[in-house]
Amino acid sequence: MSVGIIVKSYEHINRSFSGWDTPNGRHVRSKDHYDRLCKEQGMVSFEKAEELAQRGREAKQKPYTISKESEEIIREARLKADRKGNVKLSDRQIEVLVKRKAIGKKIPDYMKLPSAYSKKGGFA
């Protein structure tokens, strides 16, 4: 939400500027003085604020949509879920997810087998 100040007569007292020179606000003498104060304070004029707001209204973002393939993968995963919601994917489904870069080729640490099952050391 932006706050705009409508200025019809440039000879006025403005409370939005810092460095008040009167008890009620900053005295603005002319349009050039108003523009200079806006620039010094890092503000924009009312006309510029209206233009920026209009551009923002015109540039509405499209809602995010997913592709048909992604919808199909999600639907298949939901169908494979058990009562508790756990999903066990087949090798083919995992290959598709890797190909679509939904999951990486590197196996996360929490999915690796404990060290007791590794083939290093012992009589293997």
87 & 54 share domain: no
pLDDT tops 60 at residue 7: no
Q: Give the Cβ contact number of residue 73 at 10 Å.
A: 18
Domain-located, residue 2: no
Q: What is the pLDDT of residue 27?
A: 84
Residues 97 and 79 in one domain: yes
63 domain residue, yes or no: no
Whether residue 44 is contained in a domain is answered as yes
Q: How confident is the model at residue 4 (pLDDT cuts 50, 70, 90)?
A: low
- Quickly tell me which residue has 């015109």 as its tokens: 58
Cα–Cα distance between 18 and 10 in angstroms, integer?
17
**Domains of the chain: total:** 2
- 122 domain-assigned: no
4 inside domain: no
- Asked if residue 107 and residue 74 are part of one domain, the reply reads yes
Half-sphere exposure of 99 (CA within 13 A, CB side): 9
3-state secondary structure of 14: strand
- Cβ contacts of 28 within 8 Å, gap of 6 or more: 7, 10, 11, 12, 13, 14, 17, 34, 37
pLDDT of residue 46: 79
Q: Would you state the pLDDT for residue 66?
A: 83
Q: pLDDT value at position 106?
A: 72
Residue with tokens 């003498």: 29
User: Are residue 73 and residue 50 in the same domain, yes or no?
Assistant: no
pLDDT higher at 2 or 96 = 96
CB 44 within 8 Å of CB 2: no
Residue 124 lies in a domain: no
Rounded CA gap, 20 and 88, in Å? 68
* Contact in structure between 77 and 89 (CB atoms under 8 Å): yes
Same domain? For 22 and 54 the reply is yes
Is 92 within a domain? yes
In a domain, 23, yes or no: yes
Domain that holds residue 23: 12-58
